Amino acid sequence: MKKALLGLAFIATLMTSCKKETKDEVKEATEAVGNEMGEAMDTAAVKVDAAVDSTKVKAGETLERGAEKMDEAAEKLKEAGKK
């Protein structure tokens, strides 16, 4: 009878300590996932900013080329009007 009670007490102690360890592991895993998500979001934000900057530069270049073509067309019209 004593052995059975000691065995049950031992098992109860193991289960209690396992629960604590499991909770700690879950907490650590949750924190790790949270950190990784934060880092991923920061990386994505940097990539989005770079893409926006690149798009702005490309749009500016396209507008400049369009303005140059408009100036050329205006010059041609002026020359044609003089003749």
Which residue do the tokens 């990539």 mark?
47
For residues 69 and 29, give the distance between their C-alpha atoms in angstroms, rounded to a whole number.
60
Q: Rounded distance, CA 27 to CA 37, Å?
A: 15
| Token duo for residue 57 | 């530069």
Domain segments of the chain as ranges: 1-81
Q: What is the pLDDT of residues 63-80, one digit of tens each?
A: 999 999 999 888 888 888
Question: Token digits for 17?
Answer: 């300590």
Radius of gyration of the chain (CA): 36
Q: For 3-51, what is each residue's pLDDT tens digit? A: 777 777 777 776 666 666 777 777 888 888 888 888 888 898 999 989 9
